[in-house]
A = this chain, B = another copy of it.
Amino acid sequence: MSLARIARALGISVTTVSRALAGYDDVAPATRALVIAEADRIAYRPNEAARRLRRGRAEAIGVVLPSGPGQFDDPFFLRMLSAIGPALEAEKLDLLVTTARPGADALRAYRHLVENRKVDGIILARTRRQDERISYLLDRDFPFVAHGRSLESRPFAYVDIDGEAACRAATERLLSFGHTRIALINALPLYMFAHHRKAGWLAALGTPGPLREVEPTEENGFRAMQDLLATEHPHERPTAVLCATDRIAVGAMHALAHAGLRAGRDVALIGYDDLPLATYTDPPLTTIAQPIERAARRMVEMLLARIGGAPAEGMQEIWPARLIARQSDGPPAGTDTPRNHQG
């Protein structure tokens, strides 16, 4: 009803209207002006469905949000969406969001997007060591960009943050404070990011310290810290704890308070993510900041290139994170070194 309507109003063909609006040069300037004027007048908007049908593309990209208990309030995805949105708008692509409980459900969601051609490409976050979503997409040769690496042997496009280097640096910072028993409350190691963070901690430490691995929520951080305090022999209790996420760190800090201990004074605590909240814990949390927004924008760029046919080879980027020193860490209790050493 629409290109046709302009055509009828002007007494010219639909073809010419289409070509006038699309900027082809076989349209007389005068005709083009008429077409544009009329299009403006009736506030013409191309019918997306028709265009998609004809072009054979969905003109959209997809993101699958993990949902379900303990998942849905992870600020990470919201930050990512917020960054992806404007980047896509510039490209006139829609953002399709699906939710799925992690696990079997998740693969179903990806399959749905691919098989029903709902989107032209996918942005995939929180990669796993063995990631069936990645193998699925590679099998189908479907364009996607991941946030994070994976053990998959075939090359795929990703932007990752160097959690290993960041955690190594954080651990070294704790060592330089004089700590000798440095624990890690890690996320489940099936997550690639958790694996890297552990690797950094291990690399700095040489011989592993106490380790707990949990789904990264406040509650699990709380429990894990309580467990560390209870399980380890009193004289071998960690004097410093590195947490794989700020949510874990917040729970851990609470467990410390519960036990009459104070982060920074009695036990050094370092988080990861730099949630806005980290400034407002008591004490403010020393943590590691990741440029999620910039990474998301870069991922969109890569995804567009992939959709355009560019190969994934060479689309692997690992960006540095940086440590934000606040007050939750410092030298072991009973030491005289100044606090809040800039790392």
Contacts and interface: CB of A to CB of B under 8 A. Distances in A.
Interface in A37-86: 43, 45, 47-50, 52-53, 58, 60, 65, 67-68, 70-75, 77-79, 81-82, 84-86
Nearest to A1: B56
B275 A254 contact: no
A97 B50 CA distance: 21
A313 interface: no
Given A257-B282, A275-B73, A280-B250, A67 B47 contact: no
Contact of A53 (B53, B78, B100): B53
A276 interface: yes
B78 A45 contact: no
A304 to B, nearest CB: 17
Contacts of A222: 280
Interface residues on A, range: 35 or more
A98 B99 contact: no
A254 B276 contact: no
Interface string A189-228: 0000000000000000000000000000111001000000
B94 A96 contact: yes
Contacts of A153: none
Contacts of A49: 49-50, 52-53, 58
Q: Which of A58, A74, A219, A280 has the most CB of B within 10 A?
A: A280
A118 interface: yes
A14 interface: no
Given A65-B85, A78-B77, A277 B277 contact: yes
Nearest to A108: B89
A15 interface: no
A85 B73 contact: no
Given A218-B280, A219-B280, 9 more contacts: A45-B117, A47-B53, A48-B116, A74-B78, A75-B78, A78-B78, A95-B96, A254-B282, A257-B282
9 contacts: A67-B81, A67-B82, A73-B276, A81-B97, A94-B118, A95-B96, A217-B276, A218-B280, A282-B282
Q: Name the 7 nearest CB pairs between A and B, nearest first.
A: A85-B99, A67-B82, A49-B52, A72-B82, A49-B53, A254-B280, A73-B75
